[in-house]
Amino acid sequence: MKKWICLWLVLTGSFYGYAQALKESDLVLPTARQVEWANAEIGALIHYDVQVYEPSYKWRKDFNYQPSPAIFNPDKLNTDQWIKAAKEAGATYVVLVAKHCSGFSLWPTEAHEYSIKNSPWKNGKGDIVADFIASCKKYNIKPGIYASAAANAYCKVDNPGLVINRDPVAQKKYNEIVMQQLTELWTRYGNLFEIWFDGGVLPPSKGGPPIADLLKKLQPDAVVFQGPYGFKNLVRWVGNEEGLAAYPCWATADSTTQADGTVVMKGLHGNPNGKVWCPGEADVPLRSNKSFEGGWFWKEGQDDVISSLDLMMHRYYNSVGRNTNLLIGIVIDKHGLVPDADVARLSEFGQEVKKHFSTPLASTQGKGSQWTLKWKANAAPKFAVIQENISKGERIRAYQLEGLVNGNWESLAQGSSVGHKRIEVLPSKNVQSLRLKITDSVGEVQLLKFAVY
C-alpha cells in the first residue's frame, strides 16, 4: 500500500510541476523596451500650437479657416527650460506634440506650407522639434513625438483620419502628406523612445495610409501609444485624462483598441490572462481639465487653475502606484516658455515624490510567497511598495498585506494586480512590522522589491 502511495505522490507531483511550468510558459512577457518604459514611470507631454496666440480658434468650428502662421512668434522660446521643468517633476521621458489638430507643424515640413517655416520666428528658419531633441539629449531625457494622423484641420480631416468630404482623391493626397510627415519625424531626429497616436491609426483597409509598415521600418524600437494592433511595443490609454488608472490595471490585455486603433474597447482594467502586453499610460494636464482646451494649452490669466500638490500626489499613487505610467501635460505660453507657476508646481511635485520614496525604512526581494519587513523603532510607515520582475511576466494574482499592530497581525490591504509597481497607502496605525503574503500566483513569484517608506 505504501509503495502505491509513494508512486501516486511521485506521479502527481511530477504532473503538478508540469502544470505549473505550462502555466508559466503561457505568460505573456514584455519586450526589453516595454520594461524600460515601465521603469521610466513619469513622463511629460508638451502642447504648443497656434491657439496659444489665437485662443478663440476652434479647429472643428470652420475647416476653411486656420490662423495665419504669422501669429506664431515667441520672443523667448527655450526648449532647455521646457526639459528642465519636466525633469524637476521627475519625468524621465518627454513627448512633444509636433502637430496637433490644427495641422500647424512645429518643424519645417516639406509636406505643406502650414508650419513654422512660414512664421516670423527665426525668420522661418527654426525647427522646434530639432531644438527639443537637442535639449532632451542635453538633460538625459528620453524623447518622444506626438503627431496625430487622425485629425488635421488644415487638410480638412477629422477622426479617425478621413477627409470630411470623403473625396477619394483628397484622401489619397492626405495619406501621402501623413506618410511624408511621419517619415520626416522618424528619420530626421534619431531614435524615439515613445510615439503618440492620439486617436489611433486608421489602416489601409479602412482608407488610411500604411503607417504600421512605416513604423516597423523606421522606428521599430519605439514604444507606441494607441499604435497599430500587432506592433511589438504597444501601450494603451487608461480611459480618462485625469491621471487615474482603474484598479486592477493589468499590463496584459486581449484587445485594448479596435484593430484600426481608433476606438477604445471595453476592458480598461486589462486581463491577467490576456495575450498582448500593452500596459496603461495615464495622461493628465497639470492645469485643470475645466480650463482652456481641457488644460492642455496655455491661456493668459489661468495660472490659478494649476493642480494642487495633493491632487498631483493622489494621481501618482493611482497611476504609477497602479502599474501604469503617469504622463503630465505641460503648457507653453506665448513667450515660448513653461510659465513660472507651472514650473514651481512641477518642482514641488518632483520633490514630494523624492521625499516619500527615495529612502525606504526597510526593503527586501527574492522568490517565494511570503516576506516580512522590520525597521527601527519609532519610525512611522506611510507607504508599502510592491514590485514584480515583469520581465518574467505578471505572476502575482492576489496578495494580502498585514501589519503587526500592538503585538497582533492585522490585515491592512488586499489586492490583485502588482506588475511593475503597486503602492499601498498605509492606515494611520502603530505598525511595527509588515508582512506580504501572495495568496494566488502563476508559477513562482519573482519579487523585485517589497519596501516600506
Same domain, 114 and 252: yes
User: Cis peptide before 248, with omega less than 30 degrees from 0?
Assistant: yes
pLDDT in tens, 164-176: 999 999 999 999 9
Same domain, 126 and 178: yes
Beta strand ranges found along 298-369 (DSSP E): 324-331, 362-368
DSSP per residue, 249-283: --SEES-SB-TTS-SBPS-TT--TT-SEE--EEEE
Predicted pLDDT of residue 257: 55
Predicted pLDDT of residue 20: 43
Same domain, 280 and 154: yes
Q: CA distances (Å), 227 to each of 172, 274, 395, 430, in order? A: 21, 18, 26, 47
Residue 228 banded pLDDT, cuts 50, 70, 90 = confident
pLDDT in tens, 34-84: 999 999 999 999 999 999 999 999 999 999 999 999 999 999 999 999 999
Among 357, 377, 395, identify where a domain stops.
357
Among 357, 385, 401, identify where a domain stops.
357
Q: What is the rounded average pLDDT for all residues in the chain?
A: 92
The residue type of 146 is: Y
Predicted pLDDT of residue 113: 97
Residue 295 neighbours by CB distance under 10 Å: 23
- Pairwise CA distance, residues 275 & 149, whole Å: 27
Kindly state the DSSP code that residue 9 receives in the 8-state scheme: H
Same domain, 344 and 374: no
- Contacts of residue 278, defined as CB under 8 A and 6 or more positions apart, other chains included, come to 234, 235, 236, 251, 252, 253, 256, 270
CATH of residue 408 = 2.60.120.260
Same domain, 160 and 282: yes
CATH of residue 77 = 3.20.20.80
Task: Please name which of 446, 23, 30, 20 lies closest in space to residue 276, comparing C-alpha atoms.
Answer: 30
Residue in the block written with cell 517655416: 117
Please tell me whether the overall predicted TM-score, pTM, comes out greater than 0.85 for this model. Answer: yes
Dihedrals φ, ψ of 427, to 5°?
-70, 160
Strand-strand pairing, 280-285 and 324-331 = parallel
Q: Is the Cβ–Cβ distance between 171 and 205 less than 8 Å?
A: no
pLDDT in tens, 363-384: 999 999 999 999 988 888 999 9
- Count: domains in the chain: 3
Dihedrals φ, ψ of 97, to 5°?
-80, 95
Bridge partners for 372 per DSSP: 435
User: Cis peptide before 272, with omega less than 30 degrees from 0?
Assistant: no
Same domain, 283 and 233: yes
Same domain, 251 and 366: no
Q: CA distances (Å), 83 to each of 13, 86, 110, 136, 285, in order? A: 56, 5, 27, 7, 16
Predicted pLDDT of residue 10: 34
- Pairwise CA distance, residues 270 & 292, whole Å: 32
Q: Is 18 a residue whose pLDDT tops 80?
A: no
- Pairwise CA distance, residues 74 & 347, whole Å: 24
